[in-house]
Amino acid sequence: MAEKYRERAVVLSQEQIASQIFSMWLETERIARVAKPGQFLSIYCEDSGRMLPRPISVCEADAGRGAVRIVYRTAGAGTAEFSRCRAGDRLDVMGPLGNGFPLERGQGRSVFLIGGGIGIPPLVQLARELGGGAQIIAGYRDELFLTDELSANGALYVATEDGSAGTKGNVLDCIREHGLTADVIFACGPAPMLRALKAYAQEQRMECWLSLEERMACGIGACLACVCRSKEVDAHSGVRNKRICKEGPVFAAEEIELS
Ligand SMILES: Cc1cc2nc3c(=O)[nH]c(=O)nc-3n(C[C@H](O)[C@H](O)[C@H](O)COP(=O)(O)OP(=O)(O)OC[C@H]3O[C@@H](n4cnc5c(N)ncnc54)[C@H](O)[C@@H]3O)c2cc1C
Ligand code: FES
């Protein structure tokens, strides 16, 4: 069984790094020690009207400092509550959850790390643990964030929808504009981007690993709120479903059906 912990984490710092985007460091010694890139935390709201934890990816894990960084967009009431936290406040956190990216599939190979919007944060720790050799393609709507951290850990290429920085268009436009090639893709972002990458990887005969950031409830595999359709039939249940929180959030692209 993978190690996971529930901790009352102390907020070490919080800052707004773009419009509606916040960066928070949490002191969570045990989680920081074992967290892998692509895993996530379930963060509980203090407001008892919001029972379900909110899943947020590990952006950075600093085992030495016993701290984990999350970077998140304020989407609704839960994340808005997190954004009001200040240093010294406490949050209930469970993690690390999920499987994370299969780092061994990237070792010694040419790798694309591709992130769209709020799928960009998990690429920071991933790029670092891959040793700084990856080509990172980050797609933003307009405002950039985490570019310093990404360019410190790989070759960064940026795309923006409005053309205000980098390639005007999406991550695939950016790859084509720069004539980039790789053996394997690790990606996280919105469903349309993941669908396009799955098709691209098939066409280019590339290995492709996708992290799905779907809606979740329990976060620990108990409620089936997060299932996606898979190719293979589960030996025990006889169904073609996978729980994104438990078997994922990272899947081989050919293993899952993206709706
Ligand atoms: C494995 C995983 C990792 C994630 N990592 C991050 C991260 O690093 N940074 C980050 O900002 N967000 C991340 N998310 C999304 C984040 O969990 C949601 O934005 C958050 O739960 C919304 O909670 P809320 O109470 O603020 O909004 P709610 O009131 O619950 O929802 C507000 C709006 O956001 C939409 N929404 C809610 N959850 C999701 C979701 N999972 N995907 C898309 N839309 C959603 C709702 O449909 C609604 O329109 C991740 C999700 C998963 C499953
Ligand atoms: S969120 Fe409950 S099983 Fe995945």
Residues 144 and 202 in one domain: yes
Host H or E run for residue 54:
strand 54-57
Ligand nearest to the CA of 223: 2
Q: Which residue matches tokens 């600093």?
A: 62
Residue nearest to atom 22 of ligand 1 (CA): 75
Question: Over 90: is that where the pLDDT of 238 sits?
Answer: no
pLDDT band at 22 (very low <50, low <70, confident <90, very high): very high
Question: Over 80: is that where the pLDDT of 259 sits?
Answer: no
Question: Over 90: is that where the pLDDT of 158 sits?
Answer: yes
Which of 58-67, 136-145, 239-248 shows the lowest per-residue confidence on average (mean pLDDT)? 239-248
Question: Over 70: is that where the pLDDT of 26 sits?
Answer: yes
pLDDT, average across residues 121-142: 97
| Boundary (domain end) residue, out of 189, 208, 227 | 208
**What gap in Å lies between CA 18 and CA 179, rounded to an integer?**
30
pLDDT tens-digit series, residues 199-225: 999 999 999 999 998 889 999 999 999
Question: Over 80: is that where the pLDDT of 3 sits?
Answer: yes
pLDDT, average across residues 24-36: 97
pLDDT attached to residue 89: 98
Residues 112 and 145 in one domain: yes
Residues 31 and 77 in one domain: yes
Residue nearest to atom 2 of ligand 1 (CA): 213
Question: Over 70: is that where the pLDDT of 1 sits?
Answer: no
Residues 164 and 256 in one domain: no
pLDDT attached to residue 49: 82
The whole domain housing 114 covers: 103-208
pLDDT attached to residue 51: 87
Q: What number does the ligand 2 atom closest to the CA of 227 have?
A: 4
pLDDT, average across residues 96-111: 96
- What sign does the CA torsion over 27, 31, 36, 42 have? negative
pLDDT, average across residues 149-155: 98
Residues 43 and 67 in one domain: yes
Distances 64 to 8, 67, 122, 208 between C-alpha atoms, Å: 19, 8, 19, 32
Residues contacting residue 154 through CB under 8 Å, at least 6 positions apart? 113, 127, 130, 132, 133, 134, 135, 136
pLDDT attached to residue 232: 79
Distances 166 to 20, 62, 101, 118, 158 between C-alpha atoms, Å: 21, 30, 27, 18, 5
pLDDT, average across residues 103-123: 97
Q: What number does the ligand 2 atom closest to the CA of 246 have?
A: 4
pLDDT, average across residues 163-186: 98
Query: How many domains does one find in the chain?
Result: 3
Q: What number does the ligand 2 atom closest to the CA of 218 have?
A: 2
Residues 158 and 233 in one domain: no
pLDDT attached to residue 192: 96
The first and second tokens of residue 2, run together, are 């993978």
Question: Over 70: is that where the pLDDT of 236 sits?
Answer: no
CA of 109 to the centre of ligand 1 (A): 32
pLDDT band at 239 (very low <50, low <70, confident <90, very high): confident
Residues 47 and 90 in one domain: yes
Which of 139-153, 191-205, 217-231 shows the lowest per-residue confidence on average (mean pLDDT)? 217-231
CA dihedral 145, 18, 190, 174 (to 10 degrees): -40
Residues contacting residue 7 through CB under 8 Å, at least 6 positions apart? 28, 29, 30, 31, 92, 93, 94
pLDDT attached to residue 231: 86
Residues 130 and 187 in one domain: yes
CA of 117 to the centre of ligand 1 (A): 12
Which mutation among 214, 216, 241 tests ligand 2's pocket best, with the greatest number of atoms within 8 A of CB? 216
